[in-house]
Copies of this chain bind each other. A is one copy, B any other.
């Protein structure tokens, strides 16, 4: 599989925009995705939001301050996510994904994704949405978009093997450009996927 639309890699040296990857700026992968999504929203390109972390509230303390009721949660705990972190709409399409980073040369599916998250992504694909995972390989400073179809294929062909090699992701995923603005331009990849699909469908 080739990268759609000729995705360019910006090198750390010799880049025309004098760009340094977020790895060197001490930023967090999730934060960078949120900044990217903000950029998409502000520029009216897409509406993709991170879902809040589900929290089960047990106790709330209500106090009054200057006649305004204040709710303070004093007892609560984290619940397991039922779906993925990100979803939204882009060019009329439903988009759904999970973002993960790893310091290893392989990506451990089981430790990074719950079974119900994998199932959810498969269901999104079956319902006509675009579902994927974004993987940041810290060691190589590379971000890949791997469609759920490719991940499912891997799991089927490797009878549920948990580790996925970097080489497989490199071959079957799409390299996401890291740049100044937007930081992690994954929708450029998604756009090419949509266009390829539409071209394919119009031919058949």
Contact = CB atoms under 8 A, between A and B. Distances in A.
Interface of A: 44, 46-47, 49, 51-55, 57, 70-79, 82-83, 87-94, 96, 120, 123-124, 126-129
B129 A92 contact: yes
Copies in the complex: 2
Contacts of A51: 51-52
Contact of A77 (B73, B93, B96, B129): B73
A147 B100 CA distance: 36
Contacts of A89: 94, 96, 124, 127-129
A135 B27 CA distance: 43
6 contacts: A46-B127, A70-B77, A73-B78, A90-B127, A91-B128, A92-B128
A2 to B, nearest CB: 26
A118 to B, nearest CB: 14
A52 B55 contact: yes
Contacts of A71: 77-78
Nearest to A92: B128
A114 to B, nearest CB: 15
A195 to B, nearest CB: 15
A32 to B, nearest CB: 19
Given A47-B120, A82-B49, A73 B75 contact: yes
A94 B49 CA distance: 13
Contact of A57 (B55, B96, B123, B124): B55
A60 to B, nearest CB: 9
A117 to B, nearest CB: 13
A54 B76 CA distance: 13
Nearest to A127: B89
Contacts of A79: 52
